Amino acid sequence: MAMTELSTPKTTSPFLHSSSRLSLSSKLHLSNQFRHLLLPPLHTTSNSKISCSVSQNNQAPVAVQDNGSVKTKKECYGVFCLTYDLKAEEETKSWKKMINIAVSGAAGMISNHLLFKLASGSVFGPDQPIALKLLGSERSIQALEGVAMELEDSLFPLLREVDIGTDPYEVFQDVEWALLIGAKPRGPGMERAALLDINGQIFAEQGKALNAVASPNVKVLVVGNPCNTNALICLKNAPNIPAKNFHALTRLDENRAKCQLALKAGVFYDKVSNMTIWGNHSTTQVPDFLNARINGRPVKEVITDHKWLEEGFTESVQKRGGLLIQKWGRSSAASTAVSIVDAIKSLVTPTPEGDWFSTGVYTNGNPYGIAEDLVFSMPCRSTGDGDYELVKDVEFDDYLRNRISKSEAELLAEKKCVAHLTGDGIAFCDLGPVDTMLPGEV
Ligand SMILES: NC(=O)C1=CN([C@@H]2O[C@H](COP(=O)(O)OP(=O)(O)OC[C@H]3O[C@@H](n4cnc5c(N)ncnc54)[C@H](OP(=O)(O)O)[C@@H]3O)[C@@H](O)[C@H]2O)C=CC1
Ligand SMILES: O=C([O-])CC(=O)C(=O)O
């Protein structure tokens, strides 16, 4: 079998074809039995792309044209040359229309947990087929092929397509969800201002790309740190997408806070509800014990050690990421992936009566008096349509207001550092005498 030369970008990847389709049975057969005979080692350029669609069809592979005759596609290789008519099979299923989900930093640690949860159906539901669009870079393209191969070998029925690429303008085409995880980690001695600039450039570019090619109502969840300001940069560079659609992940902080309250109260963590994280995903974040509930009762009634709530509890949540890095030698990945799942599910399923969830969202129009034009974690509810409303009936006291103000001031200072990336003029970066920390940095 000859390998056909591909037009630019050149690659020797056997996967390079954008619309190959194969049946499950044929994939197993050819992938495992003949791949080592037929396929060259995986070498790609930065623009290489994997795409495969997988069906649950257990029949022998049949490559068909519209008129029913068998053919193989040109400019393709091996098993990925074959096209199958899956239409008849799909019509018998009560599946929803496929959705496209982009994930950046897809070869990183968080993604390594997240992608398999997405593909399993445990996030969007057992009747929701998905296409995964994985964004990587020159650094990660080989690893990304490895990720795609593992996804193949997992035989997920709902995973219909896997594409990999390094150009956000290609990868984000028509995506309905964009999970932006990739970002440069802060290295030893690196100023937060430098991190804001380096990662800000990434999110400015990705915002522009989403604006140009994504589905107009795409939901964007920014995980890469500093995630609030990155999300602000992203939304400012995507003026055609509703600002409301951009989120910064603070769900991990909410989950950590619930765990700490449960531990102190001696209850299982599913008894803790109405947990708000206010502000920045940093050590100024405010886990709100004033409005949270345990077994439906105000936390302050259940936990009477209020000094612990103000100091021990608050600090343990703010610094949980750092403690975890000390233990693990790296930042949390599995629990972050779980919290991304939780964050998405909170938007695609109705919020339980009386409860709410935290997510970092655009502050314009907020009822709490928080400065406008920031991405700030606040309490939200959803009807399950992907959208949300801010919760209005929350209480404030001096302690809470004071703490929220500190996180607000931090985000306002971060915003000034990235003015050149948000269209707000010349950046001026003064983060104060004490450099602010990500949760994982302390
Ligand atoms: N909001 C939250 O609650 C949390 C956020 N995080 C943040 O999530 C992000 C990803 O974490 P994790 O998956 O563990 O990290 P990894 O280091 O495993 O992966 C990060 C990915 O970022 C990409 N990246 C983009 N730009 C750069 C760059 N300039 N230098 C190096 N890598 C780059 C890399 O992929 P590629 O080469 O393909 O671009 C890399 O695979 C981090 O910013 C982390 O701080 C982590 C935990 C919690
Ligand atoms: O700083 C990090 O990368 C880790 C982080 O955000 C966290 O654990 O909350």
Count CB atoms within 10 A of the CB of residue 324: 19
> What per-residue confidence (pLDDT) applies to 91?
60
- Pocket around ligand 1 at a 6 A CB cut-off: 105, 107-110, 136-137, 139-140, 181-185, 202, 223-225, 227, 249, 252, 281, 331-333, 336
Task: Pick 319 or 65 by higher pLDDT.
Answer: 319
- Lowest mean pLDDT across 21-35, 148-162, 368-382: 21-35
Q: If you measure from the C-alpha of residue 271 to the centroid of ligand 1, how many angstroms do you get, rounded to a whole number? A: 33
Closest to 387 (Cα-Cα) out of 361, 359, 348: 348
- Contacts of residue 240, defined as CB under 8 A and 6 or more positions apart, other chains included, come to 211, 216
**Burial tier of 164 (Cβ tally within 10 Å: 0-12, 13-18, 19+):** buried
- Pocket around ligand 2 at a 6 A CB cut-off: 225, 252, 321, 331-332, 438-441
Mean pLDDT of 339-366: 98
pLDDT at 154 over 60: yes
* Residue among 17, 29, 43, 281 flagged as catalytic: 281
- Closest atom, ligand 1, to C-alpha of 225: 43
Residues forming CATH 3.40.50.720 domain(s) in the chain: 21-26+37-248
Query: Cis omega (within 30 of 0) on the bond before 9?
Result: yes
- Closest atom, ligand 2, to C-alpha of 332: 8
- Closest atom, ligand 2, to C-alpha of 324: 8
Residue at token pair 């703010």: 318
DSSP states along 46-89? TT--B--EEE---SPP-BB-TTS-B---SS--GGGG--B--HHH
Q: How far apart are CA 120 and CA 92, in angstroms?
A: 20
pTM above 0.90, yes or no: no
Ligand nearest to the CA of 358: 1
Q: Which CATH superfamily is domain 21-26+37-248 in?
A: NAD(P)-binding Rossmann-like Domain (3.40.50.720)
Residue with CA nearest ligand 2 atom 2: 440
> What per-residue confidence (pLDDT) applies to 256?
98
| Residue 224 contacts residue 182 (beta carbons within 8 Å) | yes
Mean pLDDT of 15-37: 30
Kindly indicate the confidence band of residue 79, based on its pLDDT and cuts at 50, 70 and 90.
very low
HSE toward the beta carbon, residue 127, CA cutoff 13 A:
5
Q: If you measure from the C-alpha of residue 246 to the centroid of ligand 1, how many angstroms do you get, rounded to a whole number? A: 18
- Lowest mean pLDDT across 31-35, 288-292, 375-379: 31-35
Q: How far apart are CA 315 and CA 302, in angstroms?
A: 19
Q: Among residues of the chain, what percentage have pLDDT more than 90? A: 70
The vertex-411 CA angle with 406 and 413, nearest 5°, equals 95
Q: How far apart are CA 45 and CA 10, in angstroms?
A: 7
- ipTM of this complex: 0.98
Residues forming CATH 3.90.110.10 domain(s) in the chain: 251-422
Q: How far apart are CA 340 and CA 114, in angstroms?
A: 8
Give whole-number Cα distances, 354 to 86, 377, 379, 380, in Å. Answer: 44, 19, 12, 11
Count CB atoms within 10 A of the CB of residue 141: 24
- What average pLDDT does the chain have? 83
Q: If you measure from the C-alpha of residue 137 to the centroid of ligand 1, how many angstroms do you get, rounded to a whole number? A: 12
Q: Which of 181, 229, 284, 332 to mutate to test the pocket of ligand 2 (most atoms within 8 A of CB)?
A: 332
Give whole-number Cα distances, 244 to 13, 220, 262, in Å. Answer: 39, 9, 32
Q: How far apart are CA 178 and CA 176, in angstroms?
A: 7
Would you call 281 a catalytic residue per the annotation? yes
pLDDT at 73 over 50: no
Q: Which CATH number fits domain 251-422: 3.40.50.1970, 3.50.50.100, 2.30.40.10, 3.90.110.10?
A: 3.90.110.10
